[in-house]
């Protein structure tokens, strides 16, 4: 059975231009997600930059994923009022890891994305809670977990599905998603 | 009599009118439509020019309304600044600062303002509105700053009751922040403070001028130690409702308090 890669078809737009447009789209999406997290009233908010970086890491190679994760991490640090670099460092490592995982071991689909993202997000949530709240044992520090961190994490997880879809569509439009087609059975091939 | 009734001009004209009224109406409509269409065709240029003139006039009116709104807002801000400047000695205020964003998922409601180092804002400058103290600047960048409200557990501030003169220190916690209140500790056991009493800054720290309204007293109970009382204070300013604030960049006695000296 043969496999054929369709990306060999003649592209309408130059690949370099498509790549530039794709990253421009990611940058615009990132800015929109950053502003959405810093606007509005009280209450827990979904932090859309987290699923955005993870979804990009699913489709991109390690280095671009790590760089994009770091930049978005810095934006998150500003929007969350955290020490600059705290989230950036975590997303740099996590995105490189996610990219490697999907590049070598996992199929690129929403189910795999969701559990990998939930795992990475859960680790970050605990580190955040431990270093920013639990370790200092402020009066009523558990409320930060129950009233803000967990509701925000759940909202983020719910929003990760449309974010993944948006990133996938962008990747597909830019021609970066490799599609494999199976040809019909070839009778000339001897099967054992 | 019958002849008279039948042959009367009123009855005839009424009958004719009844029969021909719909026809007349229809023909009138056609006539109007034709006249209107011809008018449009022959005077299209005039209408076009008139339309352009009206559009220009409308644009001018919108611009005037916009200017008026801006001037009105500026006037309100200036009045607020005058009120604030009168509330304490030697107070210097920044230009009106717009709230440009909020820290995501912060229980205390800390927010960013559009003024920073270039506008003379410094760390720990008090932030106020005409209603009272909002909080303190806790992060200063070149073009923007982060304001931490009084609800935060990182802020402790010396205050006293206007009516009774009893002093204390206000501090926040996660639990109280969810209710939008802070706690006033170290109130003397024999205090006369009651619900609704106004609490203002003592100015003892040197970080904030004396006499700025902080909030109103709620329930007052004996502290767990049994040596002092603890009161719940409702700040007069809700950090989640703010759109414009002022930063006190300088005041008489700034940096002269016990906290800033040590």
pLDDT tens digits for chain A (192 residues)?
445 555 555 556 777 788 889 999 999 999 999 988 888 777 888 999 999 999 999 999 999 999 999 999 999 999 998 888 999 999 999 999 999 999 999 899 999 999 999 999 999 999 999 999 999 888 888 898 999 999 999 999 999 999 999 999 998 888 755 555 566 666 666 655
Which of A42, A48, A86, A159 to mutate: most B Cβ within 10 Å? A42
Secondary structure letter of residue B96 according to DSSP: -
Quote the CA–CA distance of A144 and A139 in Å, as a whole number. Answer: 10
B107, A148: Cβ pair inside 8 Å? yes
- Which of B175, B164, B122 is CA-nearest to residue B146? B122
**Which of B87, B103, B118 is a domain's end point?**
B87
DSSP-assigned letter for residue A12? S
**Residue A84 near residue A78, CB atoms below 8 Å:** yes
Q: Which of residues 81-140 of A touch B (CB under 8 A)?
A: 81, 138-140
CB contact under 8 Å between A80 and B153, yes or no, is no
In degrees, to the nearest 5, what angle opens at C-alpha B200 toward C-alphas B197 and B204? Answer: 140
Inter-chain contact A148–B102, Cβ cutoff 8 Å? Answer: no
Q: For the residues of B215-243, what is the DSSP string, one character each?
A: EEEEEEEE-TTSSSEEEEEEESS-GGG-S
Cβ neighbour number for residue B215 with a 10 Å cutoff: 25
DSSP letters, A16-38, are HHHHHHHHHHHHHHHHHHHHHHH
Q: Report pLDDT digits (tens) over B95-151.
A: 899 999 899 888 899 999 999 999 999 999 999 998 899 999 999 999 999 999 999
- Pair (B24, B136) in one structural domain: no
**Does residue B35 share a domain with residue B127?**
no
Given CB atoms, is A146 within the 8 Å cutoff of chain B? Answer: no
**Which domain range does residue B51 map to?**
17-87
Residue B116, domain member (yes or no)? yes
CB contact under 8 A, A38 and B102: yes
CATH number of the domain that residue B108 is part of:
2.40.10.350
Which residues of B make CB contacts under 8 Å with A? Answer: 101-107, 109-110, 112, 139, 146, 153, 173-175, 178, 240
CATH classification (class only), A13-179: mainly alpha
B225 and B173 share a domain? Answer: yes
- Measured CA to CA in angstroms, residue A1 lies from A7, A177, A178, A183 at distances of 19, 22, 18, 7
């Amino acid at each position: 059975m043969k496999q054929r890669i369709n990306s060999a078809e003649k592209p309408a737009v130059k690949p370099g231009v498509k790549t530039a447009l794709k990253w421009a789209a990611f940058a615009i999406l990132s800015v929109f997600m950053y502003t959405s997290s810093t606007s509005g009233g009280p209450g827990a908010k979904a932090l859309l930059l987290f699923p955005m970086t993870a979804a990009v890491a699913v489709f991109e190679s390690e280095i671009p994923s790590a760089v994009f994760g770091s930049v978005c991490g810095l934006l998150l640090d500003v929007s969350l009022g955290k020490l600059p670099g705290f989230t950036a460092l975590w997303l740099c490592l996590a995105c490189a890891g996610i990219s490697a995982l999907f590049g070598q071991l996992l199929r690129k689909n929403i189910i795999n994305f969701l559990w990998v993202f939930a795992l990475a997000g859960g680790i970050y949530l605990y580190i955040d809670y431990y270093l920013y709240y639990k370790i200092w044992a402020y009066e009523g520090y558990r409320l930060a977990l129950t009233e803000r961190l967990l509701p925000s994490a759940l909202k983020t997880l719910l929003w990760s599905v449309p974010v993944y879809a948006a990133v996938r569509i962008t990747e597909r439009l830019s021609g970066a998603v490799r599609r494999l087609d199976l040809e019909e059975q070839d009778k000339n091939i001897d099967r054992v | 009599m019958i002849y008279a009734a039948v042959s009367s001009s009123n009855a005839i004209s009424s009958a004719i009118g009844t029969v021909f009224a719909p026809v007349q109406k229809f023909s009138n409509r056609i006539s109007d439509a034709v006249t209107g269409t011809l008018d449009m065709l022959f005077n299209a240029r005039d209408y076009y020019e008139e339309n352009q003139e009206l559009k220009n006039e409308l644009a001018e009116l919108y611009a005037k309304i916009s200017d008026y709104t801006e001037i009105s807002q500026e006037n309100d801000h200036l009045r607020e600044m005058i009120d604030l400047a009168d509330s304490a000695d030697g107070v210097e205020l920044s230009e009106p600062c717009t709230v440009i964003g909020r820290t995501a998922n912060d229980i205390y409601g800390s927010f960013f303002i559009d003024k920073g180092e270039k506008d003379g804002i410094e760390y720990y400058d008090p932030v106020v509105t005409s209603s009272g103290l909002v909080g303190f600047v806790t992060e200063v960048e070149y073009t923007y700053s982060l304001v931490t409200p009084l609800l935060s557990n990182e802020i402790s501030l010396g205050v006293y009751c206007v009516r009774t003169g009893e002093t204390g220190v206000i501090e926040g916690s996660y639990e109280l922040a969810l209710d939008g209140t802070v706690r006033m500790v170290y109130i003397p056991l024999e205090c006369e403070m009651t619900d609704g009493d106004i609490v203002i800054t003592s100015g003892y720290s040197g970080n904030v001028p004396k006499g700025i309204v902080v909030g109103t007293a709620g329930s007052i109970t004996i502290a767990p130690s049994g040596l002092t009382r603890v009161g719940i204070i409702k700040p007069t300013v809700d950090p989640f409702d703010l759109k414009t604030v002022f930063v006190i960049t300088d005041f008489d006695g700034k940096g002269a308090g016990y906290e800033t000296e040590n």
